[in-house]
Amino acid sequence: MAKPRRFQTHGEEILVRARELVAFGWCQGTDACDEHGGPVRPWSTQATSWSLLGALVAAIDLPSEPDAVTLRPLRRALAALAEVIEEPLLAVWNDRPGRTQDQVLATLDAARLVCADWGDDSV
């Protein structure tokens, strides 16, 4: 399977993209790992697995100094996740012992549905 490409359009698509990354490879204890399990930055071309938070970071392309309009899709994606995850820290939720890749995928699916129910990107 080829590693999915990066893009940013709106909150729902950020969640779709993050789901593609987690489906490709999932990790715990760091935002992203290379093929040998070593930690790398989520946007690194060497990344082959991502945590929930790492996948969100890797799913978007932000300018070095993003403004409110640029951050709106990310805020929307995070708000949707907050509707389906009670833990306020995504890294803590992702790294909880017993957490599975399937649970992370299901959570991203549920958050995407929340975004879809909201309609436009006004969050």
Write the burial class of residue 120 (CB in 10 Å: 0-12 exposed, 13-18 middle, 19+ buried). exposed
Tell me how crowded residue 3 is: count the other CB atoms within 10 A of its CB. 13
Q: Is the pLDDT of residue 66 over 70?
A: no
In our burial notation (b when 16+ CB lie closer than 10 A, e otherwise), range 25-40 reads bbbbebbbbbeeeeeb
* Cβ atoms of 79 and 106 closer than 8 Å: no
Mean pLDDT of the chain: 87
pLDDT band at 117 (very low <50, low <70, confident <90, very high): confident
Per the structure block, which two tokens stand in for 123? Answer: 């969050």
Across residues 10-34, what is the average pLDDT? 95
The reported pLDDT for the residue numbered 48 is: 97
CA pair distance 54, 50, nearest whole angstrom: 5
pLDDT of 65 over the 70 cut: no
Q: Which of 6-20, 25-39, 58-72, 73-87 has the lowest mean pLDDT?
A: 58-72
Which pLDDT tens digit goes with each residue over 69-89? 667 788 899 999 999 999 999
Distances (CA, A) of 80 to 47, 51, 96: 25, 17, 20
Residue 120's pLDDT band, with cuts at 50, 70 and 90, is low
